[in-house]
Amino acid sequence: MSSEERSLFVSESQEYLEILNSGLLQLEQGTDPELVAELFRAAHSLKGMAATLGEQAVVGLTHAMEEFFSRIRDTGESLAPEDLDVLLAACDGLEGWLAAVEKGDASAVAQAQESLKTLEANVRAGFQKLLGRHQAPAAGAGAAPESRQESAERLPMELNLYDHELLEEAARRGLTVTDLFVRLQPGCRMKSVRVFLIFRSLEQVGEIIKSQPPAQDLDEERFEDSFRLLVVSAESPDALAERVRGIAEVAEVVAQAVSAPEAAASRADREVKAASEDEAEAPQDLPKSTEGHALPKEPASLRESFLNERFLRVDVNRLDQLVNLVGELVIQRNRLLSVAEETLINSDVVEGIDRIATDLQTGVMALRMVPLRYIFQRFPRMVRDLSRSLGRKVELVLEGEDTELDRSLVHTLADPLIHLIRNAIDHGIEPPEERVRKGKNPTGRVSISARQEGNRVVIEVEDDGAGVDVAKIRRKLVERGLLSAEEVEKLSDRQALQWIFRPGFSTAQQVTDVSGRGVGMDVVRAAVEGAGGSLQITSEPDQGTKIRLELPLTLAIIQAMLVEVAGETLALPMDVISEVLRVGDADIRPLGAGRVLNWRGHILPVIDSAERLCLRAPQEELDPDGLALVLERGGRSVCCLVDEVVGHQEVVIKPVSKLVPTLSEVSGATVLGSGRVAVILNPEPWLEG
């Protein structure tokens, strides 16, 4: 397989696996024939794809899964939790195999194949148990689903009211209606293209008015190897059959005329059907038997579905290239604006370019946005597995899954969110008996809600569990020698809670495999802050805990205020600046080794930017003409001193090479309108204190 084939194979398989995963979870709530049919098709498609690659282990497993689905599709039985466990385990096995395929790691793939064989045995055993439970005669393994599907196609087509009208119209015009059964050769590739060729050939001499399965299914290759068509034509059934036999990869063609008298004979049934049929369907204009026929709507729509695609698969690298180029354009646009100011270029042109660059930027940034649904969709399964293994009852509520975030942020967020959820279930939600004792509902609630607030996205993970034991935190702080007893005394509850995010700080009795494994809260914080976001925790004993994440909406381009510090130009994100004060007019006093600002009743630590960024030695006296910026975000504030404000502009963030050792305050660099390079400041470390 070429790597292009491989990545397409992998991404398509992942979609099917996703359908299986979420569908199985939904099945727990109750059986639904459409859902089961969808699950069957997903397993079937996976089987087909694996078959073309000769992946026998996958074919075996997916086939066993198909049997499960086709059984409950036909009987309407529901699955027991053990059945779901077995099927979900099969999905996990397939995911593992797929991951190995993606990496191209031959030994990992071989290993995965072995485990798939075991899973297949489990699924088959589970199927036998299902049969035993419902005491129905066991269907012949393997043969049943095929013959069931095949038999559907082998039966003459079911015709509805609408079809009968068409048949009568055809008879009136002296045209023949043919019921055409077509079976493709096994191993036919791109079956839907083969169908396309067959359709095209038939449409040269007639109209296809109905297909079984429906056109959509044919297009998406949701059929084994046979299908049935109803064709209206001046040609005889034999002539049509010859046409189709002249096409490659066709194994069998059976054509029979559907005669008008037959259609008329079921007129009696029609009276009965009329009640349930949709009578809004108007009879179509059939083609005349001479040339120059207008294409009626239905057959055309059969063909259009092949060429109609709403979504496109785009190579991520190409997208990133585009985003990069637009970023460069924005930089050049800024320079142009600079130059235009100085030399008074024709402002119409400059304005025009300015506008277009802005629109282009907005459009391209939107391409990078991805709904949170992509990570949210893994959670129900995870919560189910976790609660079962920990003996908790948990209800998961997801809100705002349509909220969009920059693609790379969604990627970064996945693990931290998973860790927070694990924490909530493991350490937050109490076992059902304990909850009842506390007078709570035995089923705990974990909610994840996302929404956009201004130019940031807020995600909250909340549980109604035991809350964080703040007293325990205070004890640990003293025990570990991180703070003295008096310092700990002075900490507010909120401040004490924030210590959870410090590295190496875990108050869990044991670092359980479920939520431990070196993924501490500090890693979560690092991930979130590294993305330019912030993290906060609030908690009430016995009531629950809430963790609030805030993230920037877009990554690559921000509104920045340009400031000068010790001769260097720096860029500060605009949204974090609350106020700009003249140092001479501000109430700044010394406190201990540093300084504080008294601002609207708040005491804020004062940071000398030049000193902190190692650009200048600490100063005894502050320049009264210097500026004090009040920075605020997520309820935390700090004051930083700069020499001057130079301006504000849209700034494209270019990452600084990892080889260059940087300060934690630096989140990137950019090129200014003047052509000079400026460093972008990340205020998070200062806000955290």
Partner 1 sequence: MAVRVLVADDTAFMRMTLRNVLERNGYEVVAEAANGAEAVELYRRYRPDLVTMDITMPEMDGITAIREIMKFDPQARIIVCSALGQKTMVIEALTAGAKDYLVKPFQPERVLEALEKLQAHRAG
Q: Which is nearer to partner 1, 21 or 45 (CB)?
A: 45
Counting contacts by CB under 8 A, is residue 239 touching partner 1? no
Q: Which is nearer to partner 1, 187 or 391 (CB)?
A: 187
Q: Which is nearer to partner 1, 220 or 623 (CB)?
A: 220
| Site map (CB under 8 A) of partner 1, residues 454-483, x = contact | ------------------------------
- The one catalytic residue in 21, 38, 63, 66 is 66
Counting contacts by CB under 8 A, is residue 186 touching partner 1? no
- Detail the DSSP E strand segments found in 382-473: 394-399, 404-406, 444-453, 456-463
Q: How many residues bind partner 1 (CB under 8 A)?
A: 21
CB of 175 to partner 1, least distance (A): 23
Q: Which is nearer to partner 1, 9 or 69 (CB)?
A: 9
Q: Which of 537, 562, 565, 567 is nearest to 549 (CA)?
A: 537
The question of whether 419 is a catalytic residue gets the answer: no
The runs of H, that is alpha helices, within 313-406 are 316-343, 347-368, 373-376, 379-390
Counting contacts by CB under 8 A, is residue 275 touching partner 1? no
Segment interacting with partner 1, rule: CB under 8 A, options 75-83, 113-121, 306-314, 546-554: 306-314
Name the helix (H) or strand (E) containing 212.
Answer: strand 206-212
The question of whether 66 is a catalytic residue gets the answer: yes
CB of 189 to partner 1, least distance (A): 4
Q: Which is nearer to partner 1, 4 or 271 (CB)?
A: 4
Counting contacts by CB under 8 A, is residue 659 touching partner 1? no
Residues 6+ away with beta carbon under 8 Å from 519: 415, 419
CA angle in degrees (0–180, nearest 5) for 345-347-352 = 125
Q: Which residues pair with 558 in a beta bridge?
A: 651
- DSSP annotation of 426 reads I
Segment interacting with partner 1, rule: CB under 8 A, options 20-28, 189-197, 398-406, 591-599: 189-197
Cα(303)–Cα(600) distance, integer angstroms: 69
Cα(213)–Cα(221) distance, integer angstroms: 10
| Site map (CB under 8 A) of partner 1, residues 194-233, x = contact | --xx--x---------------------------------
The question of whether 164 is a catalytic residue gets the answer: no
Counting contacts by CB under 8 A, is residue 2 touching partner 1? yes
CB of 217 to partner 1, least distance (A): 16
Residues 6+ away with beta carbon under 8 Å from 460: 447, 448, 449, 450, 546, 547, 548, 549
Counting contacts by CB under 8 A, is residue 189 touching partner 1? yes
CB of 2 to partner 1, least distance (A): 7
Joined tokens for residue 407: 């693609």
Cα(171)–Cα(174) distance, integer angstroms: 5
The Cβ of residue 333 has, within 10 Å, a number of other Cβ atoms equal to 22
Rounded to the nearest 5 percent, the helix, strand and coil shares of the chain are: 50, 20, 30
Q: Which is nearer to partner 1, 200 or 475 (CB)?
A: 200
Got the DSSP string for 11-55? HHHHHHHHHHHHHHHHHHH---HHHHHHHHHHHHHHHHHHHHTT-
Choose which of 33, 246, 442, 655 interacts with partner 1 (CB under 8 A): 246
Q: Which residues pair with 546 in a beta bridge?
A: 462, 538
Counting contacts by CB under 8 A, is residue 52 touching partner 1? yes
Joined tokens for residue 500: 């959870």
CB of 383 to partner 1, least distance (A): 35
Counting contacts by CB under 8 A, is residue 84 touching partner 1? no
Q: Which is nearer to partner 1, 192 or 447 (CB)?
A: 192
CB of 5 to partner 1, least distance (A): 5
Cα(24)–Cα(36) distance, integer angstroms: 9
Choose which of 32, 249, 522, 575 interacts with partner 1 (CB under 8 A): 249
Counting contacts by CB under 8 A, is residue 8 touching partner 1? yes
Q: Which is nearer to partner 1, 247 or 482 (CB)?
A: 247
Counting contacts by CB under 8 A, is residue 300 touching partner 1? no
Cα(677)–Cα(480) distance, integer angstroms: 44
Segment interacting with partner 1, rule: CB under 8 A, options 158-166, 191-199, 372-380, 562-570: 191-199
Counting contacts by CB under 8 A, is residue 14 touching partner 1? no
Joined tokens for residue 46: 């996976």
CB of 223 to partner 1, least distance (A): 16
Counting contacts by CB under 8 A, is residue 190 touching partner 1? yes
Counting contacts by CB under 8 A, is residue 278 touching partner 1? no
Strand, helix or coil for residue 127? helix
Cα(629)–Cα(582) distance, integer angstroms: 9
CB of 675 to partner 1, least distance (A): 39
Counting contacts by CB under 8 A, is residue 301 touching partner 1? no
Choose which of 10, 51, 131, 247 interacts with partner 1 (CB under 8 A): 247
The Cβ of residue 510 has, within 10 Å, a number of other Cβ atoms equal to 7
- At 343, give phi and psi (nearest 5°): -110, 5
Radius of gyration over alpha carbons of the chain, in Å?
Answer: 33
- The one catalytic residue in 423, 427, 632, 650 is 423
Counting contacts by CB under 8 A, is residue 307 touching partner 1? yes
Choose which of 29, 135, 151, 248 interacts with partner 1 (CB under 8 A): 248
Cα(406)–Cα(688) distance, integer angstroms: 24
Query: What SS3 string covers 148-210?
Result: HHHHHHHCCCCCCHHHHHHHHHHHHCCCEEEEEEEEECCCCCCHHHHHHHHHHHHHCCEEEEE
CB of 316 to partner 1, least distance (A): 16
Choose which of 34, 271, 278, 309 interacts with partner 1 (CB under 8 A): 309
Segment interacting with partner 1, rule: CB under 8 A, options 2-10, 280-288, 575-583, 661-669: 2-10
Residues lying near partner 1 in the complex (CB under 8 A) are found at 2, 4-5, 8-9, 52, 187, 189-190, 192-193, 196-197, 200, 246-249, 306-307, 309
Active site residues: 44, 66, 423
